[in-house]
Amino acid sequence: MADIYDFVIIGSGPSGGVLAYNLCKAGARVLMLEAGKEFTPNTFPSNEMSANASLMWSGGMDTTTDAGLLFLRGKVLGGGSIINQCLLDRFDDNALDDWRARTGVDFFSTDAMARHYDEVESHLSLHTMERCDWNRNAELYVEGFEKCGMEWAPLRRGQSDCGSGNDCIVCLGGCPRESKQSSLVTFIKKARQHGLTVETQFNVSQIIHGTNLVTVYGQQNGTARQVHGRRCIVAGGALGSTQMLLKSGFKSKLPALGNNFNCHPQFMNIALFDEIVDSHKGAFQSVKSQDARFRQQGFKLENVFAGPIAVSLLKPGFGIDHQRFMQKYRNMACIEVAVRDATAGTIDIDKTGRLKIKKTMADADWQRANAGLQVVETLFNTLGAREVMKSPIKIGLHLMGGCTLGKDGQHSVVNERFQVHDHPNLFIADSSIFPSAPGINPALSIMALAHKASEHILAECGVSSSTQVQKESPVVEVQL
């Protein structure tokens, strides 16, 4: 008889890590599957080009069918938490009230979610950025905001004693110091201490839901594999989780599968100054917009930058003009407009199982984007920028939806217990369950929802969240 795990978790990002830790801590035998490789601080790629190729799906080039939006998502142990900036904000009433109205699910409220946020944060090292963390790009950002009478606030980041000096930007390709609080160095590390088994480079091809078992088929280093779990938790993110369910034939029973795909479309705006700015040095993100008017208008402004390869890709054109622009890299400042998406798209697959993502920006989205772009232009003009480049490339970050949570099986995929409708042994608790775009960085809320999901899942097994099952009395003997 093949080895049977209590739980198989597919995916290792913010959701998968929290779930693995809580389930393992309760005494369950848990197998985590990850399509990407595992890296250590010493083996993370040393440059942008290698990072994209090694740490992201499609080399960081997932696009919509019309190539109108470019999506970035992690393919590495630790998932998106390896390549993001680990900015950890809680969702506000605005976001959660909207979700509660859309779904009728009562736990979408700041009061109901507070305990789960608290529990997740207790496992993380959190740092609110201080004035001494600012680089010149942040100083210009704040100066512009204050001159224009706009509100800003410090960012809160998941990091321990970073000691980054001048190379914080390398964290987008994996933190070489284990300072950034990724899933890999926090929850997965703790889960391994409680017995978690991890298999990397495992590409899932099909999930078969049975009465007593879930079987996961896939390829690992060119070899066909199958693994079995009494329950399976899909944690591959909006695109990954949706694609796995579509490839497994769940669409016929789940008509909402693949619908309601959202993201935060982002627009990089680069200004050239006469002075040296060196936006690539130090903590390249340390402050954020906190203006209620922006929230109402559906956008936020981010203090951000990118490496030279990414910036060169954002600049349209070629030849001598492009070369002259890149020669001014040290004179560049950047403010990014992030839009709270108003128009949902769809996720589908072709006959070969490849993703087909349809996502356009409608008038409501462009109104939000243009409002933000106008503010950025005002800020840079106030600061005396010599030239401003608005990138024509729209980058879709924070991918959400496709397996939306709700009570109605015709219009959602996952119920309020995080079970896939009519599939009691299959669960999802990642960003694919989001009912809409929140307009806030989602990583912390993904972890908080995963914590809540772990309590529901353990309750299904007859284990309370306050009870730890001893290893000599495995959880499979407690109603599994």
List binding-site positions for FAD: 76, 204
Write the burial class of residue 22 (CB in 10 Å: 0-12 exposed, 13-18 middle, 19+ buried): buried
Q: Which residues contact 243 (CB under 8 A, 6 or more apart)?
A: 236, 347, 349, 353, 355
Rounded CA-CA distance 407/412 in Å is 7
Rounded CA-CA distance 76/414 in Å is 26
Amino acid type, 265: P
Helix, coil or strand: residue 187: helix
Tokens describing residue 445: 């809320």
Q: Which of 396, 81, 428 is nearest to 263 (CA)?
A: 396
Tell me, letter by letter, the H, E, C secondary structure of 43-81: CCCCCHHHHHHHHEHHHHCEECCCCCCEECCECECCHHH
Rounded CA-CA distance 446/444 in Å is 5
DSSP state of 36: S
Alpha-carbon torsion 108, 416, 243, 3, what sign?
A: positive
Q: Which residues contact 56 (CB under 8 A, 6 or more apart)?
A: 72, 73, 74, 75, 76, 83
Helix-strand-coil split of the chain, %, nearest 5: 35, 25, 40
User: In this structure, are residues 180 and 86 in contact, taking their beta carbons and an 8 Å threshold?
Assistant: yes
Q: Which of 300, 456, 269 is nearest to 377 (CA)?
A: 269
User: In this structure, are residues 418 and 428 in contact, taking their beta carbons and an 8 Å threshold?
Assistant: yes
Greatest distance between any 2 Cα atoms in the chain = 71
User: In this structure, are residues 262 and 437 in contact, taking their beta carbons and an 8 Å threshold?
Assistant: yes
Q: Which residues are annotated as a binding site?
A: 76, 204
Q: What is the DSSP string of 383-440?
A: HT-SEEEE-S--EEEEEE-SS-B-S-TTT-SB-TTSEETTEEEEEE-SGGG-SS--SS
Residue 256 region by backbone torsions, left for phi larger than 0, else alpha for psi between -120 and 50, else beta: alpha
Q: Which of 174, 203, 179 is nearest to 81 (CA)?
A: 174
